[in-house]
Amino acid sequence: MAKIFSISNQKGGVGKTTTAVNVAAFSALNQVRTLIIDCDPQGNSTSGIGIDKNTLISTTYDVIINGISPTETILESSIPNLFIMPSNPSLAAAEIELIGAEEREFVLKKAISTIQNNFDAIIIDCPPSLGLLTINALAASEFLIIPLQCEYYALEGLGQLLDTFKLVKENLNPALEIGGVVLTMADFRTNLTQQVIEEVKNYFGEKTFKTIVPRSVKVSEAPSFGKPIILYDPSSKGSKAYREVGAEFLEKFNLKGNSKNKLQPSQTESTETISEESSHIETIAEPTEKVEG
Ligand SMILES: Nc1ncnc2c1ncn2[C@@H]1O[C@H](COP(=O)(O)OP(=O)(O)OP(=O)(O)O)[C@@H](O)[C@H]1O
Ligand SMILES: [Mg+2]
C-alpha cells in the first residue's frame, strides 16, 4: 500500500513542484511505483514531466468534483514507474466548489483509497495556499514535506503552515506527521543562506534533509523541456543534489522498489523494456566523473 506525501508550503515559488517532480522521478527510476497527484491549478508538475496540460481528457478536478475514477484520469509518463494524476487551470474552481461538498475535507482521500494499492508512493504537489485543496491533500497524507527556500523570508509564514498542520492532525488526520524539510535554492556564498540553514536545522533537527539544493540555472531550465532535472542534465549540481534528496527520501521512508511484482497482467509485455530502460537511466543518474585530458 502506497505511502502518501504532501509537498506543501503556502508560499509561492519555494520549490514544491521541483521537489515533487524530482523526488518522484528518482523513486520511479529506482523501481518504486510512484504516482504524482498534481493538486495545483497551475499544473506545473503535469507539464514538468512532459505532459501537455491543454490536451487532458480528465484531471484532478474531475476526480475531486465530478467523481471520475482516478484510474480513468491517471496517465503513464515517459519515465518507467512514474504516473501522474494531471491538472490544469480548471482545478481552480474546485477550491470554491468543494465548500458545499459532503465531507469536503476528505474527497481526495476517498478517491486515493481506491488506488492506494496500485502504488508504492503517492506524492501530492500542493498549490501555494492553505485552502481546501491543501487541506484535502493533508487529510489524505501520512507525511507533510515542506520545501523552504534559503532566503530572508523563508521562515515567514511557516507558523501558519505549522498551525494548519496541527489543525489537520488534531481534527482530520491523526496519522499525519512532518516527514521532512527540504532546503532549496541555496546560494552558499551568502551568510544569509548559512543563517537560514542553521535556523531551520535548529528548529526541525533530524527532520531536515541533509542535502541542501543549490540554486542552479539548469534546474530552472528543466521544466521547459518537460523533464525533471535529474534527467534533463544529469551531471549538473542541481541534478546531483536532487538525486541525493531522492536517495534520502527512499531511505527515510523505507521505500523499496518492487514494482515488477505489481505490474498488471496487461503490462507484462513491457516488463523487459522497463527494466532495460531503468538500468539505462540508472547509469545516467549516477554519472561517472569525466576524466580531463
Ligand atoms: N534549485 C533551483 N535553482 C534554480 N531555480 C529553481 C530551483 N528550484 C526551483 N527553481 C525554479 O524556481 C521556480 C519555482 O520553483 P517551483 O515551481 O518548484 O516552486 P513551487 O513552490 O512549486 O511554486 P508554486 O508555489 O508556484 O507552485 C521555478 O521556475 C523553478 O524552475
Ligand atoms: Mg508548484
Kindly state whether residue 18 falls inside one of the protein's structural domains.
Answer: yes
- Residue 290 resides in a domain: no
Domains held by the chain: number: 1
Grid coordinates given for 231: 534527467
Instruction: Let me know if residue 258 belongs to a domain.
Output: yes
- One digit per residue, the tens of pLDDT, for the chain of length 293 reads 999 999 999 999 999 999 999 999 999 999 999 999 999 999 999 999 999 999 999 999 999 999 999 999 999 999 999 999 999 999 999 999 999 999 999 999 999 999 999 999 999 999 999 999 999 999 999 999 999 999 877 788 899 999 999 999 999 999 999 999 999 999 999 989 999 999 999 999 999 999 999 999 999 999 999 999 999 999 999 999 999 999 999 999 999 876 553 433 333 333 323 333 333 333 333 333 333 33
Contact between 89 and 41 under an 8 Å Cβ cutoff? The reply is yes
Contact (Cβ atoms closer than 8 angstroms) between residue 194 and residue 201 = no
Q: Is the CB of 4 under 6 A from ligand 1?
A: no
Residues whose Cβ atom is located within 5 A of ion ligand 2: 16-17, 44
Residue 110 maps to a domain? yes
The values of phi and psi at residue 83, to 5°, are -125, 160
Residue whose C-alpha cell is 497482467: 265
Q: What is the CATH number of the domain that holds 16?
A: 3.40.50.300
Query: Which residue from 18, 182, 224 has its CB within 8 A of the most atoms of ligand 1, so it is best to mutate?
Result: 18
Residue 151: inside a domain, yes or no? yes
In-domain check, residue 292: no
In a domain, 293, yes or no: no
CA 106 from chain centre, in angstroms, equals: 20
The structure's pTM equals 0.89
d(C-alpha 182, C-alpha 208), whole Å: 6
Does some domain include residue 54? Answer: yes
Domain that holds residue 49: 3-279
Cα-to-centroid distance, 289 and ligand 2 (Å):
32
Kindly give the distance from the C-alpha atom of residue 227 to the centroid of ligand 2, in angstroms, as a whole number: 15
